[in-house]
Each structure stands twice: as C-alpha cells, then as structure tokens.
Chains A and B, each alone.
Chain A
C-alpha cells in the first residue's frame, strides 16, 4: 500500500479527471484514481454525499470505496447514458474542504492478552515493546476509507509503517466481535464474529452495528477514528453499558 504523500494534494484538483465505467447494466463505477490515498478517498466521499443529496429516484445504492464510488440504479428508470451525463455534471468540492467534514469517533480498546492475541507478534515485527506498539497504534487519527467485508467493517488507514504486518497466512475461522486488527497499513474492527486473517491486537466494547437501531452503523466512509487504550475494568464497565443500551 502506498504511503500518503501530502505533496500529492496540490496535484489533485477537484477538476481532476474521473472515469465512468458500467458495472453491468444497472450500476456505474466512477473512479477518481488508482491508488489508496487520503485525498482521492476524500473526493470519493464528497462525491458520494453530493450524489445522495440530489435525491434522484430509482437510485438503489451509492457505495464509496477507496478510490471509486458505485451507483446502483433501477435500469427500468434510468438509461446508462442519462445517468452518466447527470453524474458528470455533479459539482465537486476541493479535497481540503471535504477532509475537515468527517465525524471523529474515539474508540476505546483493551489491547493484548486474550483480547489481542497477536499484539506480541506485531510488537516483535515492529521491533518494539507491546506498550510502544499500543502507543503507536493510538497515536494516529485514522480515516474511514470504506466499509465492506461484513456489515459495518471499517477499513481504516494508515497505520505507522513499522506496524504494517501482513495478514496471517491462514485466517482464523472465528474472530470475536469487537476485535481490532492490522493488515499491512490498514487497521480495522470486526463488528460481528466472522472468519478473518487480520492480526488481532485488541478489542473494543463499543458495538459498531446494532440491527435494531434507526441508525444501525456507528461509522461511515469519511469519518475519523482515534483509538484509546483502556484497562479491563473500563472494558467491563463499557461492555455492561452497551449491553444495557441494547435492552
């Protein structure tokens, strides 16, 4: 994964070229670049929000990813050329204006032990102590690049280079809900128990996905996440609060 380079920002004007490609006859993918980059992703998120604000009928889903957004439409209501033309006319904001717009979420994590069984391996990989590894992981304000893999799973970037440990060669068949993991320069949180290959360094008691809520998902693309380290008592207290809030 490429390193973010602040100098790139000057080269990515809002007028930068976009590429529209059909994803079948009922979806269009709009690409803003071909790398994982905070500015490109900010343009993706802004475009997503602007298209959603248009309130067009017959649009089924607008889905941002690292460097593209896909618009799913009812092909009985839209032709591809009509929608493509409308999308090309959507006004685009500057990436600086966009990046200040995300909500900041402070997410408490109990690092290590049974909660983060790979913390020591990541520390050895980084040549640091577990405590230093935690400090490094909590020192960054991460951008939510996209959600995918399972309902509510955020892809966060970037972790510091020395923590960028590759995935496990054999994924675990079951990763507990709330697990915080690292895969190369990405970090993420498993909202529900699924199989998974990321290196698990801790666990959060904060639910990311509550089916019964009117707003079921805590995070969306464009938000910011900062982790903070908590102890067992705090974890237990917050777990209890979350459980009660679900009743």
Chain B
C-alpha cells in the first residue's frame, strides 16, 4: 500500500485529544513551557511502528477517546493506554502497525488500562511548527491544532510519509517490552535541588507512604494526597526552574508532581524528581490511581534510561535520529 497524505475528520473529539510531539525545547528561557507527550515512550513507539521519525506529531487521547473518520488509506499505530479502540466495529490491536482504509471509522470505548493513548499516522499530523515544535500547550494556546484540543468538525491533515514502508504492516512491538499499567505505580526518584529545605526524615516520609492522584490533576501536574511533607522553619524559596517529574511541595505539604505542561519556573521547593525512565508510567496514571516512590540516584537513573532506550532501539530502530533542538 502506497501511503499518501490524507485527511481525518473529527466526528467526536473525545475528552481531551491534543496534537503532541517530543516537546518544545529551546525557548524555556523566554518562559515557553515544553509541553509534548505525557508518555514520550509510547508516542515514540507509535511513530516508529508507522515509519515516522521520533519527532513526528501524534494524537494524545485521554481516557475517553475520539471518533475519527479516515478520508484516505493509511497505516496507523495505537500505543499507551488501552482505551478499547475499534475500527469499523472490530477491536483494533495496540502496539502494532495496522492498515486503515478510506472511509473507516476509528472509535474508542472503555478505558481498560492506562490514561493516555497515542495515535500515530504515517506522515505524522501536519500542523505548523511553532517555536520548533508541533506540541499543543493549551494554557498558552500555543502550537498543535490552533493551540487547543480537538473539536467536533476539525479536519486533520497528515504529512508526507517518509517512504513506502510495506514491511511495517503488521509489525508488532515485542510483548515483553509493552508496559503494564496498574492502579498503583511505583516511581523511582532522585533527591531534588531543595531537599535541604526539608527535615532529614522527609524523603523517608515520601518513600514510606502512598499518594493518591487527586481530581485536581491535568497535563500541568498531578496534585497528590497522602502524608504531608513540611519544610524546615518558615517557608522561603525563590522561584527557579522546574522539570517534568519534579515533586514540588507547597505550604500545605501535599506534593505536586509536575508534568508536560508545567510552567517553566515555579515558586515551590522541589524535594525530589522522578527519573526519566519512569516518567512514561507517570503519564499513564489517572486521578484515583496511587503512586509510591522509591529512592534512586542520578547514576542509576541515567543507566536505566540508556537501557530502556537500547531495548527500544533494538526492537524498533529509529527511522532517523530525531533532531535534538540546539540552544538558540
């Protein structure tokens, strides 16, 4: 099947469906949030399965997926959360390159595991690059499809696929590498830059209890409920940089786990940061789920990330290395 650019009709938008890529780097010094996929691992696998470069734009579908009508033949891959996808009423497999033909409807049903599904389409979603990225940051109405989530009646266009990659059809991501999402997730953490503002017992409190993800959680961050972490002395902290995975502690002692749409700077001290290799699991957690934390180190975290990436590359080599944004 020779795949070309196609149009996709948004019949129903789903609860929160946005265009995302690897994030908007290079402009944090101007206060521009990074955004990007909440689960970069699943987004990358989806892209590789359809023969896209890692930085192609995908759709991030949250809990209740959309209904999409394909106005041309293409190949797609759905990864991440199982939101019960069907094509023409038949259950569609996850973590696999599948063909979709003109006039087909891709629908989603009950969320079974995980919170965010990633839909990659050959050629990627064709929206304009804004400050070097196609990611949507809804709060600042930047990037993606008009800076906002999809709405009924929107028409998406795909880009030109890199080449005809027939051999990918039916290609599956190895089962043993597919993450399992549960209601409880353990995340490894590294002590943060302001751990010294907390009593010596604070990290033990954090790792010794479990935290519930509250309903006040979104792409900017998750408000957690559990054992309180209280600063030593009177709260004093000068705003500085944040990062995805940072655990901020506001005055009420309930941690906030910062995610993809976080602001670039924040005024709460960061007691710890979730390691990069585990962030994709955080991205698959939903309100009501539980997270626990275990202590790690920078060296172990970097080793874990390299190992994770090596397994991915061995299973699905990158189409070509995604260009790393250079500091402008």
Q: A24-B246, A57-B326, A67-B240 are in contact. Are A75 and B302 (CB under 8 A)?
A: yes
Q: A60-B327, A80-B299 are in contact. Are A21 and B30 (CB under 8 A)?
A: no
Decide if A29 touches B193 in the complex (CB within 8 Å): yes
Q: A80-B302, A152-B31 are in contact. Are A70 and B327 (CB under 8 A)?
A: no
A-B pairs, 8 with minimum CB distance: A24-B273, A148-B265, A70-B241, A25-B301, A21-B193, A147-B31, A60-B25, A65-B240
Decide if A22 touches B298 in the complex (CB within 8 Å): yes
Indicate which residue in A29, A79, A151, A221 contacts B241 across the interface (CB closer than 8 Å).
A29
Decide if A61 touches B29 in the complex (CB within 8 Å): yes
Is A220 positioned at the interface, with any CB of B under 8 Å from its CB?
yes
Decide if B241 touches A23 in the complex (CB within 8 Å): yes
Decide if A151 touches B140 in the complex (CB within 8 Å): yes
Question: Which residues of A are found within 8 Å of B302, using beta-carbon distances?
Answer: 25, 75, 79-80
Q: Size band of the B side of the interface? A: 35 or more
Q: Which residue of A lies closest to B301 (CB)?
A: A25
Indicate which residue in B31, B192, B327 contacts A23 across the interface (CB closer than 8 Å).
B192
Indicate which residue in A35, A61, A151, A152 contacts B327 across the interface (CB closer than 8 Å).
A61
Number of A positions contacting B (CB below 8 A):
51
Decide if A220 touches B30 in the complex (CB within 8 Å): yes
Q: Mark A37-68, 1 if CB is under 8 A from B, else 0.
A: 00000000000100010010111111111111
Decide if A72 touches B31 in the complex (CB within 8 Å): no
* Residues of chain A from 1 to 35 with CB closer than 8 A to chain B in the complex: 21-27, 29, 31, 34-35
Question: Which residues of A are found within 8 Å of B245, using beta-carbon distances?
Answer: 24
* Residues of chain A from 144 to 179 with CB closer than 8 A to chain B in the complex: 146-153
Which one of B130, B192, B298 has the greatest number of beta carbons of chain A within 10 Å?
B298
Indicate which residue in B25, B141, B263, B306 contacts A61 across the interface (CB closer than 8 Å).
B25
* Residues of chain A from 176 to 219 with CB closer than 8 A to chain B in the complex: 192, 194, 209, 211, 216-217
Q: Which residue of A lies closest to B237 (CB)?
A: A34
Is A97 positioned at the interface, with any CB of B under 8 Å from its CB?
no
Is A87 positioned at the interface, with any CB of B under 8 Å from its CB?
no
Q: Mark A60-96, 1 if CB is under 8 A from B, else 0.
A: 1111111110101011110110000000000000000
* Residues of chain A from 96 to 134 with CB closer than 8 A to chain B in the complex: none
Is A36 positioned at the interface, with any CB of B under 8 Å from its CB?
yes
Q: A67-B240, A147-B30 are in contact. List 14 more A-B contacts (CB 8 A).
A: A23-B273, A24-B273, A29-B240, A48-B29, A58-B324, A63-B29, A63-B241, A65-B265, A74-B324, A75-B302, A147-B29, A148-B31, A148-B265, A151-B32
Question: Which residues of A are found within 8 Å of B299, using beta-carbon distances?
Answer: 79-80
Decide if B246 touches A66 in the complex (CB within 8 Å): no
Chain A binding surface SS class: loop
Decide if B31 touches A26 in the complex (CB within 8 Å): no
Decide if A23 touches B270 in the complex (CB within 8 Å): yes
30 contacts between A and B (CB under 8 A): A21-B192, A24-B246, A24-B274, A24-B275, A24-B276, A25-B273, A25-B276, A26-B276, A27-B241, A27-B243, A57-B326, A59-B327, A60-B324, A60-B325, A61-B26, A61-B29, A61-B327, A63-B241, A63-B264, A65-B265, A66-B240, A70-B243, A75-B301, A80-B299, A148-B31, A148-B263, A150-B139, A194-B139, A194-B140, A216-B30
Q: Mark B187-198, 1 if CB is under 8 A from A, else 0.
A: 000101100000
Which one of A22, A34, A192, A220 has the greatest number of beta carbons of chain B within 10 Å?
A22
B23 CB, min distance to chain A CBs, angstroms: 9
Decide if B193 touches A22 in the complex (CB within 8 Å): yes
Report Cα–Cα, A34/B237, bound state, in Å.
8
Q: Mark B295-312, 1 if CB is under 8 A from A, else 0.
A: 000110110011001000
Decide if B31 touches A149 in the complex (CB within 8 Å): yes
Q: Which residue of B lies closest to A193 (CB)?
A: B141
Q: A66-B238, A72-B28, A75-B276 are in contact. Are A25 and B327 (CB under 8 A)?
A: no
Question: Which residues of A are found within 8 Å of B15, using beta-carbon distances?
Answer: none
Decide if A148 touches B264 in the complex (CB within 8 Å): yes
A14 CB, min distance to chain B CBs, angstroms: 21
B218 CB, min distance to chain A CBs, angstroms: 15
Decide if A151 touches B27 in the complex (CB within 8 Å): yes
Q: Which residue of A lies closest to B275 (CB)?
A: A25
Decide if A22 touches B190 in the complex (CB within 8 Å): yes
